[in-house]
A = this chain, B = another copy of it.
Amino acid sequence: MFDFDNALIVRLLDLAGIGVFALSGALMAVRLRQTLVTASFFALLTGVGGGSVRDLLIGAPVFWVQDEAISVVCIAIALIVWSTPERWWQGRLLEWADAVGLAAYSVFGTAKAMAWGVPPMPALLMGVITGCVGGIIRDVLAGVPSIIVRPEIYVTAAALASGLFLLLLWLGVGTPFAAVIGAIAGFALRGAAIRWSLALPAYRDPKTGA
């Protein structure tokens, strides 16, 4: 049997989501040739944006406002990105960091919503919001088209992570196992979308087939 500590798994998913989203925000600011301060602001808003919206919607205190460590971590990540050669961070790293954050944060968001008594369907949506809103904020701040309307799968991967997590819980699987499986499945789908530009069936007109 798996003997994970539930609280630890959930905390790690949370920090993984915050950290890699903060990284993707800092990378965006560096590409825009902004100062260290602006890079820290991007790291923070991208890192905590999705979770902040989730907490506001479910009526929880916003998680990073009283917990000083979280903003310090976001700023430290910005500092690391800013003081290292850009080629370390080149290629598709931003996309892969975003994929890890998406999967981890979606599962975590659903788990937190359920802990606050939100019913399953809105809890699933809270997971998707937690996973997607940070990236949307980053893209809107940067003035680039929001990641969720690019041709590849994005929101769907977040929904898979949250939905599989809920399904496994409902089937009686333990929380840590369900969380890890859900996050891995969401990451795999998003990763496949990045790697092979994989697309699930998008809308095609039943009549014209276009």
Interface residues of A (CB under 8 A from B): 29-30, 32-39, 41, 44, 52, 56-59, 61-62, 64-66, 68, 71-72, 82-87, 117-122, 125-126, 128, 132, 136, 140-143, 145-146, 148-149, 151, 153-156, 159, 199-203, 205-208
12 additional contacts (CB under 8 A) given A41-B128, A65-B122, A85-B207: A36-B203, A37-B200, A38-B154, A58-B62, A71-B122, A85-B206, A85-B208, A87-B205, A141-B146, A141-B148, A142-B146, A143-B145
Interchain residue pairs A-B with the least CB separation, the first 5: A143-B145, A37-B156, A85-B207, A38-B155, A86-B205
Whether B37 pairs with A121 at a CB distance below 8 angstroms is no
A112 to chain B, nearest CB (A): 13
Whether A206 pairs with B143 at a CB distance below 8 angstroms is no
Whether A72 pairs with B33 at a CB distance below 8 angstroms is no
Q: Which residue of B lies closest to A142 (CB)?
A: B149
Whether A119 pairs with B66 at a CB distance below 8 angstroms is yes
Q: Known: A66-B118, A71-B125, A122-B66. Contact between A200 and B35, CB under 8 A?
A: yes
Name the residue in A86, A149, A207 with the highest tally of chain B Cβ atoms < 10 Å from its Cβ. A149
> Copies of this chain, how many?
3
A44 and B87 CA atoms in complex are apart in Å by 39
Tell me which residues across on chain B come within 8 A of A56, comparing CB atoms: 56-57, 62
Whether A71 pairs with B33 at a CB distance below 8 angstroms is no
Whether A146 pairs with B146 at a CB distance below 8 angstroms is no
A156 and B37 CA atoms in complex are apart in Å by 5
A37 and B29 CA atoms in complex are apart in Å by 30
Tell me which residues across on chain B come within 8 A of A149, comparing CB atoms: 32, 34, 38, 141-143
A14 to chain B, nearest CB (A): 17
